[in-house]
Amino acid sequence: NILHEATGTGIGTKGDTKTINISAISGGYSLTDTTHTGKIITYDAKTTQTRGNVVTSTSTLFNTTTQRAAVDAHYYADVVYDYYLNTHNRDSYNGKGAAVESVVHFDKNYNNAAWTGQYMIYGDGDGVTFSELSGAKDVIAHELTHAVTETSSNLVYENQPGALNESFSDVFGYFVDPDDWLMGEDIYTPKIAGDALRSLSDPAKYDQPAHMNNYQNLPNTKAGDWGGVHINSGIPNKAAYNTIQKIGKVKAEKIYYRALTQYLTTNSQFVDAKKALVQSATDLYGATEAAAVTEAWNAVGVT
């Protein structure tokens, strides 16, 4: 029921004004961005655990308080879509122009965001641990990268492959949001300034290991974070930091994309990721870059 493409104005979760791609429908406008092969569509679950309904407005303004989380999810999904298309020539998360769907106000006080396999979900947070999680570009990049991973290497979400799955989502979160080495700084503990959920440059700052000597063998259960996928990701995250410091973001992001989509498989371990990244560096650049990757992983104890 799309009549035509339109440009809208939205207010984001930080009270900022953003220009968004919307569609004219009978009776008004919807958060449906048709500027790419894959439509970018944003829904409001209204604190249920369903996909809810597409967010609409009677005008091109999306400026109500309840629409703020949707405006950010919609805007940042477009940013990340553009990143994968322009930097890696990947059309949407599956390379085939799949629709990108986001759901905001998912559940009540939900302190998380995720890729469900069908769409991204964003909680509102409880206002203490998190504010609305779609308010941060690195979160959207993290979640959409899970969809890229799922449609390529499909790293299983447990133990070392799971920690790699988490790490690649953080690392592409950095590539999309390279102003800092932090993850979630814009939405973590809204009452406390200057902190973050994770740091790629100093994982230990937020209680993650940064070396294999501190790998945490946790149970492969929900309570064990599926073998500590959000904890042990500190080790590959640190290796990525080391790599980017040595060879720069432009080369590193091509190497990481190639490894994720051409070499890694469902059960790849840390040592396999190192090999995949070294091979990708050799394929794309040469011995200097390959050596830098080798050193980056040796430094975190993956030898």
Active site residues: 143, 230
CB of 133: closest distance to Zn ion in angstroms? 11
Per-residue contact flags (x/-) with Ca ion for residues 162 to 181, judged by CB under 5 A: ---------------x--x-
Choice between 38 and 184, CB closer to ligand TI1: 184
CB of 142: closest distance to ligand TI1 in angstroms? 4
Q: Is 112 in the site for ligand TI1 (CB under 6 A)?
A: yes
CB of 280: closest distance to Ca ion in angstroms? 24
Q: How far apart are CA 152 and CA 262, in angstroms?
A: 8
Of 27-35, 43-51, 54-62, 112-120, the window that binds ligand TI1 (rule: CB under 6 A) is: 112-120
Site for ligand TI1 in 125-184 (CB under 6 A): 138-139, 142, 146, 166, 173, 183-184
Choice between 146 and 274, CB closer to ligand TI1: 146
Q: Is 138 in the site for Ca ion (CB under 5 A)?
A: yes
Choice between 177 and 289, CB closer to ligand TI1: 177
Q: Is 182 in the site for Ca ion (CB under 5 A)?
A: yes
Q: Provide CB contacts within 8 A for 10, sequence distance 6+.
A: 17, 18, 19, 20, 61, 62, 63, 67, 68, 70, 71, 74, 75
Choice between 54 and 114, CB closer to ligand TI1: 114
Q: Which does 182 bind (CB under 5 to 8 A by kind): ligand TI1, Ca ion, Zn ion, none?
A: Ca ion
Q: Which does 230 bind (CB under 5 to 8 A by kind): ligand TI1, Ca ion, Zn ion, none?
A: ligand TI1
Of 93-101, 150-158, 169-177, 281-289, the window that binds Zn ion (rule: CB under 5 A) is: 169-177
Residue ranges in contact with Ca ion by CB under 5 A: 138, 177, 180, 182
Residue ranges in contact with ligand TI1 by CB under 6 A: 112-114, 138-139, 142, 146, 166, 173, 183-184, 197, 230
